[in-house]
Amino acid sequence: MRPIRRDPGRVRRALATLALVLALLPAAGGCGKEGSPPAKGPKPGKLPSYKAATTFRLPSSPTWRRAERRGHLTVGVKEDQPYLGEKDPATGRYSGFDIEIAKMMAASLGFKPSTIRFRTIASANRETALQNGQIDYYVGTYTINPLRKRQVGFAGPYYLAGQSLLVRTDEKDIHGPRDLAGKRVCSVAGSTPLQRIESDYPKAHAVAYDTYSVCVDNLLTFQVDAVTTDNVILLGYAAKAPKELKVAGRPFSKEPYGIGVPKRDNALRFALDDAIQAYERNGDWKKAYDATLGLSGVRAPKPPPIDRYRTG
Ligand code: GLU
């Protein structure tokens, strides 16, 4: 008979990992119980407050007209991306840099923050949600690219990210995408990072889920070797679990973040372009960044120039 070996260290490590996985799951049961420590998140006192433009009208935008009639905006966002778009499972409240951008845009269109209805939409469903009117606009780490521009419109960019890799802290072999040959790497369906891995690094074993938090759980439980997406998303997860996770190597793509709008609504797109510029100039963009994304350890960069592109 094989003797039963006890390894308390291993058991402890497994339990710690399990606790972390539960903590990172956005809607895990039992989270946010009264008395549980608050998650490290945006500092509410440090966030700017945005004044809704009282006399603003945009009758040339069908999206704006509809929203005005119904009295609220529906905005598509993410709910599991630390410091960018996060939903508190206890209160249902959303926070993060993308959420702040969404609020700035709402104010510029004449809508108070209390009239915004946030709706979580996964990467793969963004274009359809905009096309079928489920949402008025989308703010959630949404890369502007020519392929997507055929289906939706983009205001911005309001931030420039780059694809990167997240690994466990004890990982020694993965420093860049070339090291992924023969390794399992997780990303999200319908995302540009997944497409890039599949097309440019075919020796990697790509695994796709609907959300990055599921990928991170897979990394923590040794089911994949890396997670790939934009550096800012990964830095957020690493900041939440610095003992277990780290970002490896340098960014290897350019991901300019835009606000997705219905394709033919140029009036809305240009109005949001103007709004982004105004909030960058009055300092609120930087203030919002410092209170949210800045917490994952990266200083506010200069925002990229707005691309007011014309459509034929
Ligand atoms: N920015 C990339 C994209 O739009 C990755 C992040 C995401 O999936 O939202 O596909």
Q: How confident is the model at residue 20 (pLDDT cuts 50, 70, 90)?
A: low
Cα 141 to ligand 1 centroid, rounded to whole Å:
5
Q: Which CATH number fits domain 52-161+255-296: 3.40.30.10, 3.40.50.2000, 3.40.50.2300, 3.40.190.10?
A: 3.40.190.10
Burial bucket for residue 280 (CB in 10 Å: 0-12, 13-18, 19+): middle
Instruction: Decide which of 1 and 108 is more confident.
Output: 108
* Model pLDDT for residues 217-226, shown as the tens digit of each residue: 999 999 999 9
Cα 54 to ligand 1 centroid, rounded to whole Å:
34
Tokens of 129: 């949600």
Angle CA(160)–CA(183)–CA(181) in degrees, nearest 5?
A: 80
Q: Which atom of ligand 1 is nearest to the CA of 187?
A: 8
* Model pLDDT for residues 134-164, shown as the tens digit of each residue: 999 999 999 999 999 999 999 999 999 999 9
Tokens of 278: 């105004």
H helix runs in 191-230, sequence order: 192-200, 212-220
Phi, psi of 2, rounded to the nearest 5 degrees: -80, 130
Task: Assess whether pLDDT exceeds 90 at residue 9.
Answer: no
Task: Assess whether pLDDT exceeds 90 at residue 214.
Answer: yes
Q: How confident is the model at residue 21 (pLDDT cuts 50, 70, 90)?
A: low
| Spatial separation of the C-alpha atoms in residues 172 and 179, rounded to whole Å | 10
Q: Which atom of ligand 1 is nearest to the CA of 188?
A: 8
- Cα distances (angstroms) measured from residue 217 to each of 7, 111, 125, 237: 23, 37, 22, 11
Cα 90 to ligand 1 centroid, rounded to whole Å:
26
Cα 145 to ligand 1 centroid, rounded to whole Å:
11
Pocket mutation for ligand 1, best pick of 142, 187, 210, 254 (most atoms within 8 Å of C-beta): 142
Q: How confident is the model at residue 44 (pLDDT cuts 50, 70, 90)?
A: low
Pocket mutation for ligand 1, best pick of 143, 194, 199, 259 (most atoms within 8 Å of C-beta): 143
CATH number of 8-26+162-248: 3.40.190.10
CATH code 3.40.190.10 region(s) in the chain: 8-26+162-248, 52-161+255-296
The DSSP result for 67-91, as a single string, is HHHHT-EEEEE-SEETTTEEE-TTT
| Spatial separation of the C-alpha atoms in residues 102 and 98, rounded to whole Å | 6
Pocket mutation for ligand 1, best pick of 255, 259, 293 (most atoms within 8 Å of C-beta): 255
Of the candidates 189, 58, 194, 84, which has an alpha carbon nearest to the alpha carbon of residue 139?
84
Cα 191 to ligand 1 centroid, rounded to whole Å:
5
3-class DSSP assignment, residue 184: strand
Longest dimension (CA), the chain: 82
The pLDDT > 90 percentage for the chain reads 83
